[in-house]
Structure 1
Amino acid sequence: MPIRRVAADVRAGPGGARREAEAAIRRHEASDLNAYIAFDAGALRRQADAIDDAVSRSRDPGPLAGVAVSVKDLYGLEGYPLRAGTRRALPAWSEGFLVMSLRRMGAMFTGKTHTVEFAFGGVGLNPNTGTPVNPWDPVEHRVPGGSSAGAGASLWEGSARIALGTDTGGSIRIPASATGVVGYRPTTGRWPTTGVVPLSTSLDTVGMLAHTVEDLRYAFRAIDLPARAGDEPDDPDHAVPEGVPGLRIGVPSSRLWTDADSAVAAVVERALAELRAAGADVLPIEAPELDEAGERYLSGSIVQPEFVEFIERELPDWIPLLDPIIGTRLEAAAGVPALEYVAAHQHRRRLSARMHDRLAAERIDLLATPTLPISPPPLSALARLDAYRKANRAMLSGTCPASMLDMCAISLPVGLDEEAMPVGLQLIGPARGDLALLDRAAAVEAVLGTNLDRLGMPPRVSNGSGRYRAGSEARG
């Protein structure tokens, strides 16, 4: 059910929020996906009753009334400890912009979902608190993508309709692609990152995952427009045509395509062919900035020094407790000279300007790439540190260029690969073009269909009859 309709039903009469809460609790209790580090059924019921009480008193609880939201354990959330994927709780952390905005609009919070330790990784693995199960493999425990590792699993188990994540180099889009849902990274700086443990003060964003673009667009607008009252409107947000005819989609000549597994690339190519048949202009474009931006991100010259500065300043006692997967990657960060750090920022700003000038000159509305270049690997294949590092680099490589260029980006599920795992189509838009990108992504979804249309139900998720439906039954 679209969240717009959920909220309308809750606002229409008393008892709707409690029904939503009880359904979320039942689904969570029946799930074995390990999405959450903490789920509080009592707190959820109290939130629901407060919403229903407001409705009974003829007070409007808001446009997201009764919508269940899971929260990545990187956010401060009242009533819950904050561990950020570590071995012990951090000092008290207040709620910030995104949580408070959702609370004011009537959303109710289900609990805290798993994250990679301090969000420092794209695979989704966490030896400290546990690794959620990717619902698409009925036999092996495959990684869910990270660092918002429990977000997609919380959506598929049915306990949440929106999942909060953070995205520095791809930590919303990666789990969205890996688990077959939709994930949106807003333009860097679009929303405040208050109330969230930082990884990179330069590149961190807060954002959301949901089952459909339409759900994300509805929630994004509800949050974004009041927050930006009085700001200059986004230039690309006006007069966006309905549908895909005339939409100019650039397919970049880039390693985002050439480094992708052939089975993954084929699924995305078929989706683009469907868009072309529906009237979109799918055009080749040179985009060397994407490859260079990706190399710069993966070199660690920005994210690692910023994270080390934060943890040495705020949590120095935590450093000896870091899992070796995280700790060994930080050893080189202390050796990044200040001049190299400053030069990296200056260079990424130049790359971003060139990329945006190129899009404007060629009248490209958005870029299209595979979100992930590989199929989500089994957990058992990552036991060796070198295997983990290789998979982590691969899973970040498709999403980090847009982050480095301060662009907005979304991942949509478009099919299953040869291993019956989800494949995401990444659409990248210009900075500050968030509303336009969401409108265009909704038009794309209207042509291609939702995740249920494209993928079917994951094998580990009941279809409602008590049996399991294999993902291979869905069309690719």
Structure 2
Amino acid sequence: MSRPSIEAVAAQVGRGGGVARREAEAAIRCHEASDLGAYIAFDAEALRRQADEVDAAAARGEDPGPLAGITVSVKDLYALDGYPLRAGTKRPLPAWPEGFLVRALRELGAVITGKTHTVEFAFGAVGLNPNTGTPVNPWDPVEHRAPGGSSAGAGVSLWEGSARIALGSDTGGSIRIPASATGVVGFRPTTGRWPTTGVVPLSTTLDTVGLLTHTVEDLRYVFRALDPLAGHARETADATPEGVSGLRIGVPASRLWTDADPGIAAVVEGALAELSAAGATLLKIDVPELDEAGERYFDGRIVQPEFRGFLERDLPEWIPLLHSIIGKRLGAAGDVRAIDYLAALHERRRLSAVVHARLASERIDLLATPTLPIAPPPLAALSRLAAYRDANRRMLSGTCPASMLDLCAISLPAGLDGEGMPVGLQLMGPAGSDLTLLARAAAVESVLGTNLTRLGTPPRVGASSPAELRE
């Protein structure tokens, strides 16, 4: 099985002949045939108009851009012209202007399909949203399982076939978690590398914007097109040779491994063994800061007060409307003293500096862990708040350390667990090494295979859907 790359599709659109409109119509058909519930709003006519504009530019002999006609779903945390901004809440927020990432994608020729579901104010890892709906994880043919959050509809929209790129945001793992849970690729750029303008904030310290795609190569291509628009020149890492031979992969002694369910750890260990057989060097390494960073994330002294401060300052009328699964977790934020908040920021910087120094001194190219320690749970198992909180904490536990330590990180499919659910391999690199990490992750993908070759097609994806592999 194969799927045309984003680069190949955009090149075909650029040659003219109405290809962007055909892509748009295929996306619309996939959406209309799907019952996965990825979107809170999908505008077929707006998509057709955008595609026709791209085709008209190509017909005039103009270059419509490196992402010409590529379909993009947008998390409902982003402001998007022509759509209300709900951020997963019970009523629309005041209007916001579009920010960097949406504007940059439009400039590069991409077309927007609609807005995907998010957890309320992005404050949750499971993907559950009783206000607007919870998308269906396509890998379980019977039960409604969590899609991963908070970018809950992002990965689902990719498998639906309505989008080739999905926009998410990542504070403690909200891009990598749904990527792992749905068997796609999700990348958290270095914090601050791309502006978070036009996106409702959760944590001014940890928020990032980023992408989900089906393959690392697709994500790498899109990232390289977008990055200069954020003020970053091409790096020498862009030319990193393909292949994993000589790659030094650190396998940390950490709860990110020991707290993972045995079946999930075994899948990731198997993937790493394949990389070792292909020439990579696996190195056991002590990184106690990963566990400490996770503990400090969960103590609530950074994200919760920053989120609470934003609501009280900008959206006080929304606080009484918060669903209990959000409101009760936010309740203690007002008890965090300023001195404790500042101490938490200081400690985060200290831990990050220690980790970066250790990676450099031991010449570790990547850290590797499972992305999620558990399989995406069935929603029926989360009816009690205590069960939800436990699942939410566990789903965050694998990804929040990288956020706290200023590492860039990517999740890519490692295989399927014993229940047939996707398992993610998380690769983490130093701050600022985004292009290097993507190049190395592409080399890893060349060994392990893409999601289609590694996992196959989800049971709930029909023949008219995704990956109706459009050539």
TM-score where L is the length of structure 2: 0.97
Matches within 5 A, 1:57-456: 57-229=60-232, 237=237, 240-456=240-456
| CA apart distance, 1:239 | 6.0
Give secondary structure in 2 for the equivalent of 1:331: helix
| CA apart distance, 1:286 | 0.4
CA contact (8 A) 2:184 2:451 kept: yes
Give secondary structure in 2 for the equivalent of 1:206: strand
| CA apart distance, 1:465 | 10
Aligned residue type for 1:250: G
| CA apart distance, 1:238 | 6.5
Provide the rounded CA distance (Å) in 1 between the counterparts of 2:76 and 2:413.
24
Aligned residue type for 1:424: G
CA contact (8 A) 1:369 1:426 kept: yes
CA contact (8 A) 2:248 2:280 kept: yes
How many residues matched?
Answer: 465
Provide the rounded CA distance (Å) in 1 between the counterparts of 2:465 and 2:240.
42
What do the CA deviations read for 1:310-348 (whole angstroms, capped 9, x no partner)?
000000000000000000011100000111100000001
Aligned residue type for 1:435: L
Provide the rounded CA distance (Å) in 1 between the counterparts of 2:244 and 2:146.
34
Question: Which deviates more from structure 2 when the two are superposed, residues 11-20 or residues 154-163?
Answer: 11-20
Provide the rounded CA distance (Å) in 2 between the counterparts of 1:399 and 1:18.
38
Give secondary structure in 1 for the equivalent of 2:205: coil
| CA apart distance, 1:227 | 2.4
What do the CA deviations read for 1:244-278 (whole angstroms, capped 9, x no partner)?
00000000000000000000000000000000000
Give secondary structure in 1 for the equivalent of 2:263: helix
Aligned residue type for 2:342: V
C-alpha spacing 1:318/1:264, structure 2 compared with 1 (3 Å): same
CA contact (8 A) 2:33 2:465 kept: no
Provide the rounded CA distance (Å) in 2 between the counterparts of 1:278 and 1:187.
28
TM-score where L is the length of structure 1: 0.96
CA contact (8 A) 1:374 1:395 kept: yes
CA contact (8 A) 1:124 1:131 kept: yes
Identity between Structure 1 and Structure 2 (%)? 76
Provide the rounded CA distance (Å) in 2 between the counterparts of 1:214 and 1:208.
12
Provide the rounded CA distance (Å) in 2 between the counterparts of 1:256 and 1:284.
13
| CA apart distance, 1:368 | 0.1
| CA apart distance, 1:242 | 2.3
Aligned residue type for 1:423: V
CA contact (8 A) 1:166 1:206 kept: yes
Unpaired runs of 5+ residues, structure 2, are none
Give secondary structure in 1 for the equivalent of 2:285: strand
C-alpha spacing 1:238/1:131, structure 2 compared with 1 (3 Å): closer
Provide the rounded CA distance (Å) in 1 between the counterparts of 2:182 and 2:300.
27
Match of 1:9 in 2: 12
Provide the rounded CA distance (Å) in 1 between the counterparts of 2:457 and 2:385.
33
C-alpha spacing 1:320/1:465, structure 2 compared with 1 (3 Å): closer
Provide the rounded CA distance (Å) in 1 between the counterparts of 2:414 and 2:451.
7
C-alpha spacing 1:364/1:18, structure 2 compared with 1 (3 Å): same
Task: Provide the alpha-carbon RMSD of the alignment.
Answer: 1.5
Provide the rounded CA distance (Å) in 1 between the counterparts of 2:265 and 2:427.
14
Unpaired runs of 5+ residues, structure 1, are 469-476
CA contact (8 A) 2:238 2:439 kept: no
Provide the rounded CA distance (Å) in 2 between the counterparts of 1:238 and 1:94.
33
